[in-house]
Amino acid sequence: MTETQKNDTLKSENHGGLGNGDDVEGLDPASGSWGDYPLDDLLIRQENRTIHDVIRRIDQSNYIMDPDFQRDFIWPEDKQSKLIESVIMRIPLPVFYMAEDDEGRMVVVDGLQRLSTFRRFVKDELRLKLPDRRELDYHRFSDLSSKIQNRVEDCNLIFYIIDSKVPERARLDIFERVNGGVPLTRQQMRNCLFMGEATRFLKCESQSEIFLKATGNSLNRRTMRDREFVNRFCAFQLLGIDEYRGDMDDFLASSLRRMNGMGPEDLLELSADFRRGLGNNFLLFGRHAFRKHSAFQEWRSVLNASFWDVMSTGLSRYEEPCVKACAENIRQSVYRLLADEEFNTAITYGPNGAKKVRTRFDMARQALREALDDLTD
């Protein structure tokens, strides 16, 4: 093994699912261009609301404050106290960004820490730490005069709201651009925008034993790269390649919408398909599952998302006894596939293009049919 191969193996095997998410290939980077969007399609409206009104809406669950992607409340109390001091001093605050979901709820895009601080203070959960202001230091909201309480509750906040009708990729691009905290991944954004049965499904499946075993526990959980892989399976399994138009963001979002409308039995069936596909891949390729490799390769390469798409869905169609009976035929067929220049290009370079997606799925399905003697017909 070369030194480069050793380094690749260490990167792939040792970050325990907590790496930076860069050790995955077969992904297209998110587009940074805004020139594709018609000028009138970016529907962002402005609303003014008082702190009192906002807290009421949070308590009524009209504002989504605790999606999985949001970090725990991490502002120290002295910083929270400075924010409250700014409100009392009538210092203008930065604007807030929200995204409207399909049910009309408001998802916090930028401003979670500030909104949480307001709620904590008004609910008497925060005692101010302002040693330079004796009239405020160590005071809770209930300790303040009615005049100051009213000033806090009547403070006007400016919200920019990203309309639910904005195209999916545009919504995520706006999300990325305006978020003032630690940059979020697009899967974290999707997890926020489509919370429900779909996101619970992704979380559950990404923590399953077979998923961790088949992926070598090498997908970043913090950035939800693991859930993104589950999302990709669900999209291609439920919607099929005929529904794919070259926009992966829209495709993955569409599958989450579909899943949020599915019943328990359908989701159980989807879970069974998913786990069958993963189990068959691990049965055949072990630690090399979903990675480019050859028959006698010892070192393990990184996971390839595009190869994952075709193999996770492709082998979900076959029961384990069929796969076992044709195991060697399938392995040799897949090795030939990986050695094919056209297929390799389709899972490596610009893989989100509609033509590349069609190419790799058609080639993989044909290879599996031939290896399994079309046992599903």
Residues above pLDDT 70, as percent of the chain: 86
335-369 pLDDT tens trace: 999 999 999 999 999 999 999 999 999 999 999 99
Tell me, yes or no, if the pTM score tops 0.85: no
pLDDT for the residue 275: 98
How does residue 69 score in pLDDT terms, banded at 50, 70 and 90? low
Which backbone phi and psi does 303 adopt, to 5 degrees? Answer: -65, 140
118-133 pLDDT tens trace: 999 999 999 999 999 9
Burial environment of residue 374 by CB neighbours within 10 A (0 to 12, 13 to 18, 19 or more)? exposed
User: From CA 8, how far away is CA 344, in angstroms rounded?
Assistant: 19
Domains delineated in the chain: 3-33+185-371 (no CATH), 44-165 (3.90.1530)
| Average pLDDT score over residue span 24-53 | 75
